[in-house]
Structure 1
Amino acid sequence: MANLSVGKQQLKPFTIDSKSVIEKYLLKLSVDISDYTFAANYIWLANSSGFYAIINKCFCLFVMTGGELTMLLPPLGKKKYITDSIVECFAIMNENNSSPYYARIDYVQESMIEEFVQSTDEVGSMFEMLENYLVEKKLVDYIYQVDALINLRGNSYHTKRTEINKFIKSYSDYAIETLDSTKHADEIIGLFNKWVSDRVKYMPKEEAEVFLEGIHQERHAIKQMLKHYELLNLIGIVIYINDELKGFTVGEKINGDTASVIIEKTDFEVLGCAQFIFREFSKVLKEHYGVMLINVGDDMGFENLKKVKMSYRPFRLIPKYTIYQK
């Protein structure tokens, strides 16, 4: 992929080789949001092309979709450089895009919003900033204490414990293996295809249409995850029942205290499998990374997914914002 020229600014392709570049900036941040890793951004690029540039000493990640540029993350760098970088990034997007309406910066953490809005001591300038930009709260990341997910103590986890016990009793021949991206690839794709088919069966038609729009992107993400599994430093497990793969889950470390679950899929018809594999993977993440918290990402706006994630009693909900131009 070639560089993208926008006015005088050269944007480099965001490829697997960009990992070391972005991680130099990510390692300097203290962020619990699941989107702030190389893998989380790289594998989810489907019908889009990623580009980046170092602007005002910040790593700036853009995505081109249908000819329009947006930003996958806010500029990554020291606080004193972020505000000027944001302004410059909007100028780059405006230079490329057919309308200022398309320019936006996604997945902005709260501390960056505060820095952006309060970037000056001059009250007039602060109001001028708010006059030109719109900050909108979007989704939240769900974060849990790892020990709570492993032990499932208390009345609020009674249903989870019951589902897991029923699973173990019904499928005593289950087997858990460490995910091998070569050995398990075909079976993982096969399970994903079955999962899509089963989910659509039980969805209202209007919800199914929205759901299917994102399926191509998720299938692409799984393929990218499998293709670059070792290089991305991911960890995962699979579960077999009667020698058939019925579930898989993959995660990574975000920071010293927090790991994330990037993708998890189980056979919709194997009751209790989702609850079981989630608990077992929580054990793996704690043992492998020594973390205290697990981030399972956002609910993508799906009400049923929100209910499931809330049912696990999140320790913290971390809001994510989008910055638009007015």
Structure 2
Amino acid sequence: MIFKEVNIDSKKELDPYFDMVDYEACEYCFTTLYMWQHVYETGYYIGEDFAVIVGEYEGDSFSILPLASRENLPKVIDFVLNYFKKENKKIYLRGITQEVIEILKEKHPNEFKYIEERDLFDYIYDAESLRTLKGRKNQKKRNHLNYFVKEYEGRFEYKLLGNENFEECLGLMNEWTSNKEDHDEFDEGMDDELSGIKKIFKNYDILKDKIKIAGIYVDNKLEAFTIGELINSNMALVHIEKANPEIRGLYPYINQQFIENEFKDVEFVNREEDLGIEGLRKAKLSYHPCRFIEKYTVREA
């Protein structure tokens, strides 16, 4: 089996397989794979009616859920397991759902260890709650948002962004990172994230059939931007959200406006995982997720 590297030319080949499945986790989207390919050395193999994704993490090869129809999933999982055996590699699966664990336990009892990866759980929110921020639980968010709207009345603008705005986005990121203290926990992985954002900007003309990029200008200066797309017909996925942390209420405002303007009909929003970063976890929990997408690692017992 020859695995091709995930690059921008892979999109045309892989998109039909992403469209075939209804997975909700953030990994199962071409943009995510492409953004982070340089970190995980992600590759893919196209079978007769499925696609297999592999990568490397801390020196070990792994696979995520195959892109296959639900009825074909057990057969394709066996295909992946046989690939590891043929390559004399330890079986290592990441981002695995409870549904697939049940298949593995039934077909391969006592062969694997199943490790719950709380740091990788995706946060799922009720989209209407993010749009309206109604209720007592959202009072603090409403207060911050209302402060921004009142304090900057007539001075801000929400708009979709394109190629002509991306240098401003990168400038905002440079400002945001340079103003943070050294060794701040939010800085973990910032270089990798910046590389992924640059890849999106560079290939926006190819990716724009799926992704939406929006920003907030304050006094004619870009102060926040966000990147997202539909991961399925009823769920939006927010890949990136950046804002000037010195402007009170800007984060909740761009969060709300992006969902309200670009994903007005979805029921749910996936805001990805917290990676075990304490501050990020606190921020994501503060929006009161309605559920999590639980993910597991599978290794040989």
**Structure 2-normalised TM-score?**
0.89
Q: Provide Cα deviations, 1:120-179, integer angstroms capped at 9, x if missing partner.
A: xxxxxx43xx33x22211121111111111111111111011000111122220111211
Which residue number in structure 1 is paired with residue 292 of structure 2? 317
> Given that residues 239 and 245 in structure 1 are in contact (C-alpha distance below 8 angstroms), is that contact kept between their aligned partners in structure 2?
yes
Which residue number in structure 2 is paired with residue 195 of structure 1? 176
Pick the aligned partner of 2:196 from 221, 245, 269: 221
Which residue number in structure 1 is paired with residue 115 of structure 2? 136
Instruction: Give the drift of 1:272.
Output: 0.8
Which residue number in structure 2 is paired with residue 161 of structure 1? 142
Report the count of equivalent residues: 293
SS of the counterpart of 1:282?
A: helix
Q: Distance between the aligned counterparts of 1:238 and 1:93, measured in 2?
A: 46
Q: Distance between the aligned counterparts of 1:116 and 1:212, measured in 2?
A: 37
Q: Distance between the aligned counterparts of 1:108 and 1:65, measured in 2?
A: 15
Pick the aligned partner of 1:179 from 161, 164, 169: 161
Paired AA for residue 177 in structure 1: K
SS of the counterpart of 1:153?
A: coil
Pick the aligned partner of 1:271 from 241, 248, 258: 248
Which residue number in structure 1 is paired with residue 276 of structure 2? 301
Q: Provide Cα deviations, 1:253-281, integer angstroms capped at 9, x if missing partner.
A: 11111111010000111111001100001
Q: Which runs of 5+ in 1 are unaligned?
A: 1-8, 120-125
Moved segments of 4+, more than 6 Å: none
Q: Distance between the aligned counterparts of 1:82 and 1:199, measured in 2?
A: 46
> Given that residues 59 and 76 in structure 1 are in contact (C-alpha distance below 8 angstroms), is that contact kept between their aligned partners in structure 2?
yes
SS of the counterpart of 1:70?
A: strand
SS of the counterpart of 1:300?
A: coil
SS of the counterpart of 1:200?
A: coil
Q: From the superposition, tell whether residues 65 and 141 of structure 1 become closer, same or farther in structure 2 (CA, over 3 Å).
A: closer
Q: Distance between the aligned counterparts of 1:47 and 1:156, measured in 2?
A: 37
- The two structures, once aligned, show a CA RMSD in angstroms of 2.1
Question: Higher relative CO (CA 8 A, sep ≥ 6), structure 1 or 2?
Answer: 2
Q: From the superposition, tell whether residues 300 and 235 of structure 1 become closer, same or farther in structure 2 (CA, over 3 Å).
A: same
Q: Distance between the aligned counterparts of 1:263 and 1:14, measured in 2?
A: 20
Which residue number in structure 2 is paired with residue 75 of structure 1? 66
Q: Distance between the aligned counterparts of 1:93 and 1:307, measured in 2?
A: 42
Q: Provide Cα deviations, 1:293-319, integer angstroms capped at 9, x if missing partner.
A: 111111111122112211111121110
Q: Which runs of 5+ in 2 are unaligned?
A: none
> Given that residues 124 and 289 in structure 2 are in contact (C-alpha distance below 8 angstroms), is that contact kept between their aligned partners in structure 1?
yes
Q: From the superposition, tell whether residues 15 and 92 of structure 1 become closer, same or farther in structure 2 (CA, over 3 Å).
A: farther
User: Which runs of structure 2 are paired with 1:1-326 in the superposition (5 Å)?
Assistant: 9-54=1-46, 57-64=49-56, 68-71=60-63, 73-77=64-68, 78-91=72-85, 94-95=88-89, 100=90, 104-119=92-107, 126-127=108-109, 130-131=110-111, 133-138=112-117, 139-172=120-153, 173-180=155-162, 182-200=163-181, 205=183, 208=184, 211-232=186-207, 233-287=210-264, 290-326=265-301
> Given that residues 18 and 67 in structure 2 are in contact (C-alpha distance below 8 angstroms), is that contact kept between their aligned partners in structure 1?
yes
Paired AA for residue 248 in structure 1: F
